[in-house]
Chains A and B, each alone.
Chain A
Amino acid sequence: MLRAEGLRLSFRDAEGRGFPVLDIATLTAEAGALTVVTGPSGSGKSTLLHALCGLQPVDAGAIRWQDTDIAPLSEGARDRWRRQTVGLVFQEFHLIDELSPLDNILVPAWFSRFRAGEMRHRAAELMRAYAVPTQRRRVADLSRGERQRVALARALLFDPPVILADEPTASLDRDAGAAVIEGLCALARDRGRLVLAVSHDPGLIAAADVVLRLDHGRLTPVEGIA
């Protein structure tokens, strides 16, 4: 279970005045469920995601994963925690165009080791599981849907218990989006992973187990399907 309590974060505008971005009393996301945070643009969805994975330091509050509160950890410790625990998927995929699909999936392996080694088998397995074309030399040659599946495979290289997705379907057409939604649902329900996505894609919201609504940095549960 990933649980945020008393999370507060302010940014400063150009004149140096602070304005609140997040003010969340409690947020819980369970393993085995697909949680979707929705809300209008500028409601702080992406910032929330960055805070939950430790990229964005917060002003106050706790972010607990199992027994660890990652909020007070050092930047290096949060990097390490994120590498071991979280797989991230972005709206714009953020793949490295010059690398092959396989190498893109292997990128996180190079953060800590020189040779990908046995990780290659894992990456090849993920490519099969997410139907990533293996013949293509560069990801730039793939369709958008295929690229998002590469990004998903990359997020899963270390088989992390937490998958965080930032608008994973927003730049995809309906069919490609459906394939990604199916992949995320399977991760949560079949593999027991904690999957949290921020999105305003009705398709993804409809598939969610829990939908939370973020408005001006505040969270309101809208419905529970589970």
Chain B
Amino acid sequence: MNPFPIALALARRNWLTTALFLFLITVSVALGVAITAQERALREGSARASDPFDLIVAAQGSQTEVMFNVVYLRPSAVELIQPETLATLLQDPRAEFVAPVAFGDSAGGFPVVGTTADMIRHLIGDAPLDGRLWNHVEEAVVGARVPFGPGDSVMSSHGVHFVEADHGEIAVVGKLPPTGTAWDNGVFVPIEYSWSTHGLVSGHDPARYKPDGTPPIGPPFDAAYLAAVPAVVMETGSLPAAYMLRQAYRTPETTAFFPAEVLSEIYGYLGDVRAIMSAMAIATQVLVVAAILSGIVALVQLYRTRLAVLRAMGATKGYVFAVMWTYIMALVLGGTLLGLAGGYGVAQAISAVFSAETGLTLSARIGGRELALAGALAGLGAVLAVVPAVALFRRPAVTYLR
């Protein structure tokens, strides 16, 4: 049998209703898919962005706040690690490197981060740098998404959200390759710059300054000339070393944590939100399918004479059933596929906006969860598609011919 020509004729007869049904299914599926795909992209992207930061040590206070400062370059006022403690941290032989990180300045609207070359090299891995790393206190390298490049000069100012005072021009000497982290949106200067522009010590004994009167760059630092910093990033080399160091720096003065632990706590909350939103998306879909089915039941009453004529010409109940089931399933499947594509598109668009905003590379994709969602809806549609036929077959076909 071939129910398609008749089902198609049915759709064409009420093309506006059919298009509306298709649109409703598409929107409801797209909504559910976009929510789950976007939530996953956010989770994966934010986790990936924290990969370069093995262990973060900060002064006692909120780990979440410190993590947003260090990993996502969302500066807020946090407690500082005092110079004496910093001296101990910097000298810890168990870490492969210890990089202080300092925030609070901005350049051209991008956050300025004071740190060491070790941190930058660790961040970009083996990828080549456009230009070079800094070797002077007033030199900077910029993240891949920052619209400056080697040779540019940019005004560094105090304050991130509101510029309070200008520090002076800094020369951009290098541009980092994309890392997919929030650091793609950063401007990086030697920690010596962050300290000295704020009228603090530079980290080095002035006796050892370069002939031009500027401090040398990078470790080793002089313990007596250190200033406070919001946090340090420790590269630990191995997992046991990471756990050991985390334990070692959970002291009355400092807190030490893996970004992943803080993230998983946040994901815990996010997961609850996701569960609620998924449930709402599924409920929406079920409601849409139910609404459409009741619409089709009404539509079938309009078609009943036509369907009865098919019976009169020798079509079996099975054929008439197949016509209606094909029509409904075409709506459900078509809407589901369009919804998957639409949801993917929406999630991509949101990810792109989010990436531009934060520097985090989010790649929304259609995964098992989205396919399961779509499959469940299609399955539900397949079962519920029986309802209009049952409604029609309650009375003999000949009733509708009189």
Contact = CB atoms under 8 A, between A and B. Distances in A.
Interface of A: 46-47, 50, 53, 55-57, 75-76, 79-80, 82-84, 86, 88, 90, 94, 96-99, 103, 106-108, 110-115, 154-155
Nearest to B316: A79
Given A94-B305, A99-B5, A55 B313 contact: no
B314 A86 contact: yes
Top 6 closest A-B pairs, CB basis?
A: A83-B314, A94-B309, A98-B9, A110-B2, A98-B12, A114-B2
A96 B311 contact: no
B319 interface: yes
A111 B309 contact: no
A76 B6 CA distance: 20
Interface of B: 1-3, 5-6, 8-9, 12-13, 305-306, 309-317, 319, 396-398, 401-402
Secondary structure of the B side of the interface?
A: helix
Nearest to A87: B313
Contacts of B8: 98
A55 B397 contact: yes
B6 A96 contact: yes
A47 B402 CA distance: 8
A50 B305 contact: no
A80 B305 contact: no
Contacts of B312: 50, 53, 55, 82, 88, 90, 94
B1 A113 contact: yes
A55 B401 contact: yes
Contacts of B397: 55
Residue in A82, A97, A98, A108 with the greatest tally of chain B CB atoms within 10 Å: A98
Contacts of A75: 317
Nearest to A97: B13
Nearest to A84: B314
A49 to B, nearest CB: 9
A107 B6 contact: yes
Contacts of A103: 5
8 contacts: A47-B402, A55-B311, A55-B401, A76-B317, A79-B311, A79-B317, A98-B8, A106-B5
A64 B290 CA distance: 46
A110 B323 CA distance: 11
A90 B12 CA distance: 23
Nearest to A111: B315
B314 A79 contact: yes
Given A84-B314, A98-B8, 19 more contacts: A55-B401, A75-B317, A79-B311, A79-B314, A80-B314, A82-B313, A83-B315, A86-B314, A90-B309, A94-B306, A96-B9, A96-B306, A97-B13, A98-B13, A99-B9, A107-B6, A110-B6, A111-B315, A114-B1
Given A96-B6, A98-B9, A98-B13, A108 B313 contact: yes
Given A94-B305, A98-B12, A50 B313 contact: no
B306 A111 contact: no
B72 to A, nearest CB: 57
A83 B317 CA distance: 13
A76 B5 contact: no
B306 to A, nearest CB: 7
Contacts of A97: 9, 13
B310 A56 contact: no
A90 B397 CA distance: 15
A98 B306 CA distance: 12
A108 B9 contact: no
Nearest to A96: B9
A107 B1 contact: no
Contacts of A111: 1, 310, 313-316, 319
Contacts of A53: 312
Nearest to B305: A94
B1 A110 contact: yes
A79 B313 CA distance: 8
B401 A50 contact: yes
A107 B13 contact: no
A107 B310 contact: yes
Contacts of B309: 90, 94
Contact of B3 (A80, A83, A110): A110
B290 to A, nearest CB: 28
